[in-house]
Structures are given as structure tokens and as C-alpha cells.
């Protein structure tokens, strides 16, 4: 069975023509899929039944199944989505007072090897298709009453190592689902060719760079694959991105107690960004606990405040990531690991949610 999610209106029009129908049927199908988050072809009641029958012989909508769902007291919902081949990825629904954001995965697992990250510990299984990326958003839209207005690619995987599917998914979320491209953020470990390619796409998304260290040596210890590109090159690529798109960047800085949270490191970070004349905020992310070989821990509250003050004194707008989803394994890759571990130990039985509706 082939999935319809992931096809553009244009591609759906071509498919309709192939099946002997007028091209405008493509628009009808895309409205059902992307605007109404339909779960099956059967509900598309403005299509002739003969056409629907033909479609379902080879096609399905392809919405992922919410195999597991954890709701935090702040209403953050963490999903484990089951894909057609049985693989599972994490996605998060984040309702705020003024907007609703979702966090999407771009790969199953990840090859970046970041020492502090739960996803990295299992390595990379495979890339997601554009349809599987968009499908996560559609499943969450279907499952929740408020309209999704923002999406961040900060779930499992390195989006720029799955470049073609990433670009296609961004275009579909923008043009078909109808979320403003400006409300989409792609987070990267710093894949230089990907950043440069993205700069030429005419897609005014926000680029977020996972910086996490003010110098190459420490960065390479935390992000082994980062050795491939020096900070100098990465930041030059970011400059190019900002110059070509006119968009600001976000610099993410994961804070690990006693490792990268000293005031002198904050000053070095501020100087580095200033030297490169890079516009953009720094977003401090206190470490979400993951069991690691290094035994990383969250910095003291005081250290975070001092770090922030150093950056602000140097003129850098600094934000701190709100802690969301406490108690529901909110860190990237944590939920999948927790569930796999407890399953293998026979503790937890996952009940498919909305089993009747899936
Ligand atoms: N590969 C991309 C996007 C996925 S990770 C990237 O590296 O940017 C999204 C963000 O979560 C990154 O900034 C990553 O460093 C951060 N992250 C990973 N593990 C974390 C943890 N245990 N606590 C807090 N942030 C974490």
C-alpha cells in the first residue's frame, strides 16, 4: 500500500488523471488529507464511489498510529507514533496560551552521536519519508482540538541529513496544511552543506543551530560528528543563511553542569557570535536527564542565571527553554527508550490509544 500523505496537490492531480479522473480531484483529496486530517479514503464523500474504490486498492491515507500517548499536567502530550513498517518515532504536542506548536522527528534514530542525547544511543535506523514527517503533525492535529500553528524539527534525527524529505515536508506543511513557513523551525547539529543548500531554497524558516559549546574541542567531545566541521565554517554558513533569507537564527545551548556552564564560557560564546556578526538569540536548554556514560547533570539554577547574565551583558538576547512535559520523558528519544526497556523487562504493556478510531 502506498501512502497519500506526502503527495502534493499537483501529485494528487496527476494520480487522479492516471486513474481516469479529472485533475481537480487532486485538490479534493489534498483538502481531505491536509485540511481535515481524514483517516481513511472512505470518508471522502465528495469523490465518486467508483474512484474511491479504485484508490483504496493501492492507496491509503497513511496516518501514523498513536501507539502510546503521555499527557503531562501542563497539557504537553508526548506521542510514540507507529509507522507502516512497525518502526516508532516520537512527536510532541505543545499547547501554549497564544499558539500551539508541535515537535517532529525527521529520522528513526540518529547518526550524530551526541553524548547527552537518548536518541543517539541507538544509532540511525532509517530516514523518514516526507509523508511520515507530515503524518506526525496530521495525527496530532486529528487528535487535539486546537489548531496547530507552529512546528519545530527538534525530535529524533538530524533533519539536514534527510534533506530531500525535509524540504518536501516543509513545503507540504506550508502550502498544503497551511501553516506559515515563518512559523517552522529546523534545528541542526551544524551540517554545513545542508545549511548552505537551505539558504538557497526560498523557504523563510527559522534555523536553529545546536551550538552547546563555545570552542571546537569541547564541542567535539559532546557532539562527535561535529569534528567534521569547525565552528568557524558552521557559523559562516549560518551568516550566509541569514544574509540570503533575511531570517534571524536561534543558537541553542544545552547546559550541562560543570561542563559548559561557566561564566567565562558564556563570555567566549558571546564573543564568538559577535565576531561573526551573527544576529539571533541564544536559547539556553537545561539538560533533560538521560542516563549516560559521562553521568551528565543539570547545572545549578545559579549557574544558569549567571551564564544568562554574562550573555545579556554582552548584548545578546537570551531566552531559557521553558520546562515542558515534566514527568513524561520529555527529552528527545527518552520515551521510546523507556518503553522499549520496560517492554523488554515485561513491565509495561502499551495500549494503543484511540484504538477504535485509528
Ligand atoms: N539533530 C538536531 C535536532 C534534534 S535534537 C539538532 O541536533 O539540533 C533537538 C535539540 O534537543 C538539540 O538542540 C539537542 O542538542 C537537544 N537535546 C538532545 N538531548 C537533550 C537532553 N538530554 N536534554 C536537553 N536537550 C537535549
Mutate to test the pocket of ligand 1, among 89, 332, 333 (most ligand atoms within 8 A of CB): 332
Average pLDDT over residues 282-311: 94
Average pLDDT over residues 205-210: 97
User: So what's the pLDDT on residue 321?
Assistant: 79
Q: What is the pLDDT of residues 19-48, one digit of tens each?
A: 999 999 999 999 999 999 899 999 999 999
Average pLDDT over residues 294-300: 94
Residue among 159, 26, 139, 123 at smallest CA distance from 83:
139
Q: Are 15 and 7 in contact (CB under 8 A)?
A: yes
For the Cβ of 330 lying below 6 angstroms from any atom of ligand 1, the answer is no
Instruction: Compute the distance between CA of residue 6 and CA of residue 96 in angstroms, rounded to an integer.
Output: 28
Average pLDDT over residues 93-97: 95
For the Cβ of 256 lying below 6 angstroms from any atom of ligand 1, the answer is no
pLDDT above 70 coverage of the chain, percent: 90
User: So what's the pLDDT on residue 34?
Assistant: 97
User: So what's the pLDDT on residue 339?
Assistant: 57
User: So what's the pLDDT on residue 337?
Assistant: 61
User: So what's the pLDDT on residue 293?
Assistant: 87
- Report the DSSP beta bridge partners of residue 185: 152, 206
Span from the CA of 154 to the centroid of ligand 1 (angstroms): 7
Would you say residue 355 has pLDDT above 50? no
Would you say residue 320 has pLDDT above 70? yes
Just list the catalytic residues.
90, 332
With cut-offs at 50, 70 and 90, classify the pLDDT of residue 330: low
- Report the DSSP beta bridge partners of residue 284: 253, 320
For the Cβ of 209 lying below 6 angstroms from any atom of ligand 1, the answer is no
Q: What is the pLDDT of residues 97-149, one digit of tens each?
A: 999 999 999 999 999 999 999 999 989 999 999 999 999 999 999 999 999 99
Average pLDDT, the chain: 91
Would you say residue 325 has pLDDT above 50? yes
User: So what's the pLDDT on residue 37?
Assistant: 87
Q: Are 255 and 261 in contact (CB under 8 A)?
A: yes
User: So what's the pLDDT on residue 340?
Assistant: 59
Which residue's CA lies nearest to atom 1 of ligand 1? 158
Query: What pTM value is reported for the model?
Result: 0.92
pLDDT above 90 coverage of the chain, percent: 84
- Report the DSSP beta bridge partners of residue 320: 284
Instruction: Compute the distance between CA of residue 140 and CA of residue 147 in angstroms, rounded to an integer.
Output: 10
User: So what's the pLDDT on residue 329?
Assistant: 57
- Report the DSSP beta bridge partners of residue 351: none
With cut-offs at 50, 70 and 90, classify the pLDDT of residue 353: very low
Torsion of CA 275, 279, 281, 285, to 10 degrees: -60
With cut-offs at 50, 70 and 90, classify the pLDDT of residue 328: low
User: So what's the pLDDT on residue 225?
Assistant: 87
Mutate to test the pocket of ligand 1, among 254, 255, 281 (most ligand atoms within 8 A of CB): 254
β-strands 249-255, 150-153 pairing: unpaired
Average pLDDT over residues 182-210: 97
Look at 46-55, 130-139, 334-343 and tell me which has the smallest mean pLDDT.
Answer: 334-343
β-strands 2-3, 59-60 pairing: parallel
Domains and CATH numbers, the chain: 2-60 (1.10.150.530), 65-344 (3.20.20.70)
Span from the CA of 74 to the centroid of ligand 1 (angstroms): 21
With cut-offs at 50, 70 and 90, classify the pLDDT of residue 347: very low
For the Cβ of 253 lying below 6 angstroms from any atom of ligand 1, the answer is no
Would you say residue 205 has pLDDT above 50? yes
For the Cβ of 285 lying below 6 angstroms from any atom of ligand 1, the answer is yes
Mutate to test the pocket of ligand 1, among 91, 116, 117 (most ligand atoms within 8 A of CB): 117
The grid coordinates of residue 212 equal 552547546
User: So what's the pLDDT on residue 352?
Assistant: 33
With cut-offs at 50, 70 and 90, classify the pLDDT of residue 332: low
Ligand 1 atom index nearest CA of 189: 7
Amino acid at each position: 500500500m502506498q501512502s497519500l500523505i506526502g503527495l502534493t496537490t499537483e501529485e494528487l492531480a496527476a494520480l487522479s488523471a492516471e486513474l481516469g479522473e479529472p485533475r481537480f480531484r487532486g485538490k479534493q483529496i489534498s483538502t481531505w488529507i491536509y485540511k481535515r486530517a481524514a483517516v481513511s479514503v472512505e470518508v471522502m464523500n465528495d469523490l465518486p464511489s467508483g474512484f474511491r474504490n479504485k484508490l483504496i486498492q493501492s492507496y491509503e491515507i497513511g496516518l501514523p498510529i498513536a501507539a502510546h500517548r503521555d499527557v503531562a499536567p501542563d497539557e504537553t502530550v508526548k506521542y510514540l507514533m507507529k509507522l507502516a513498517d512497525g518502526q516508532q518515532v516520537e512527536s510532541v504536542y505543545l499547547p501554549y496560551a497564544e499558539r500551539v506548536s508541535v515537535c517532529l522527528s525527521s529520522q528513526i534514530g540518529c547518526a550524530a552521536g551526541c553524548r547527552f542525547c537518548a536518541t543517539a544511543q541507538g544509532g540511525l535506523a532509517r530516514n523518514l519519508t516526507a509523508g511520515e514527517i507530515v503524518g506526525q503533525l496530521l495525527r496530532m492535529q486529528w487528535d487535539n482540538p486546537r489548531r496547530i500553528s507552529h512546528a519545530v524539527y527538534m525530535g529524533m534525527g538530524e533533519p539536514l541529513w534527510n534533506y530531500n524529505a525535509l524540504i518536501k515536508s516543509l513545503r507540504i506543511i506550508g502550502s498544503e496544511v497551511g501553516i506559515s513557513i515563518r512559523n517552522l523551525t529546523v534545528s541542526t547539529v551544524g551540517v554545513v552543506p545542508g545549511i548552505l543548500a537551505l539558504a538557497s531554497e526560498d523557504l523563510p524558516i527559522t534555523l536553529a543551530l545546536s551550538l552547546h559549546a563555545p570552542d571546537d574541542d569541547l564541542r567535539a567531545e559532546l557532539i562527535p560528528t561535529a569534528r567534521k566541521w569547525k565552528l568557524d565554517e558552521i557559523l559562516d554558513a549560518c551568516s550566509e543563511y541569514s544574509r540570503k533569507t533575511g531570517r534571524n537564527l536561534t543558537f541553542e545551548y544545552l547546559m550541562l553542569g560543570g561542563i559548559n556552564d561557566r561564566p567565562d564560557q558564556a563570555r567566549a560564546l558571546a564573543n564568538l557570535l559577535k565576531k561573526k556578526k551573527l544576529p539571533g538569540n541564544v536559547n539556553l536548554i537545561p539538560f533533560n536527564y538521560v542516563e549516560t556514560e559521562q553521568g551528565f547533570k543539570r547545572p545549578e539554577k545559579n549557574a544558569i542565571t549567571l551564564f544568562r547574565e554574562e550573555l545579556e551583558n554582552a548584548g545578546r538576547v537570551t531566552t531559557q527553554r521553558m520546562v515542558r512535559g515534566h514527568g513524561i520523558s520529555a527529552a528527545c528519544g527518552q520515551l521510546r527508550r523507556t518503553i522499549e526497556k520496560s517492554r523488554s523487562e515485561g513491565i509495561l504493556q502499551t495500549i494503543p490509544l484511540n484504538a477504535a478510531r485509528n
